[in-house]
Amino acid sequence: MCIRDRYQRRVRGQEERMVKSEGYRCCTRDMFSRPFRARGMPNLSTYLVNFKVGDYVDIKANSAIQQGMPHKTYHGRTGIVWNVTKRAVGVLVNKQVGGRVMAKKIHVRVEHVTPSACRKQFLDRVKANDDAKVAAKAAGQPKPNTKRPVRGPKPGRSIRTETCLLYTSPSPRDS
């Protein structure tokens, strides 16, 4: 296309526009920005964390270190460590591709990985249940019920206004 044609299109109001670029790190302005007063290189404690195979980890890219940085798709995902190398860990992460979920194996440097707390509540509950069973056995009592109870409907309550007193009963939608 010559300059004259381009000028004529501009005169007619049909200006050409560039398409939106979709680079490797596009749309990551807020995702990879460092928090306030947390800029610069990571602390030494980041490198001293021991990862073992089977650990749950959260992938959180640290933009101060570009080496071994995961793709933006994996930022904020939780995965399982399947390999440990000198400077990186292999993480098994689920990724939705089209209509299916694929298990992807990626290697990420330790600066971009933190131990996950996703199983902490479960492990605490297992430990408390085991302690309750041991205590019941020592006291000669039957095994305690360790199942989590289903939360029923909220109880009815009374609401006092300036003019009257209202009583509400539980409804199936309140739970």
Digit-coded pLDDT (tens) for 65-76: 999 999 999 999
The tokens describing 171, both together, are 């409804």
The predicted-structure confidence for 78-88, as pLDDT tens digits, reads as follows 999 999 999 99
Place of tokens 């290189």: 41
Q: Which of 119, 112, 102, 138 is nearest to 47 (CA)?
A: 112
In the chain, which residues have pLDDT < 50? 174-175
| The pLDDT value given to residue 154 | 77
Q: Which helix (H) or strand (E) holds 107?
A: strand 100-109
